[in-house]
Amino acid sequence: MLFAMGAQLGANDKLVSDLSRLGWQAMVLAFGSILGSLMLVRLAENYINKQLEGNRNKTTQNL
């Protein structure tokens, strides 16, 4: 399916002629998506680690 979609996009002359302008926009969007995903994963990781640490402290206090 990706091959068919790529072939269809590659056959579009208007898209190919605007590739230099669209390339920068696509690259900015891709890097923005990657950076946003990494930041959200880091926040989720910190939240989960705090929750696990709190549970460990409660368990050791009860022993």
- Checking if the pLDDT of 44 tops 80, the result is yes
Mean pLDDT of the chain: 86
Residue 11 DSSP label: T
Report, as an integer, the average pLDDT of 26-30.
Answer: 86
Residue 37: pLDDT band (50, 70, 90) is very high
Q: CA 31 → CA 21, 23, 34, 50, 62, distances in Å?
A: 16, 12, 5, 29, 47
- Checking if the pLDDT of 31 tops 70, the result is yes
- Cβ atoms of 10 and 16 closer than 8 Å: yes
- Quick one: pLDDT at residue 34? 94
18-27: string of b/e by CB count within 10 Å (b at 16+)? eeeeeeeeee
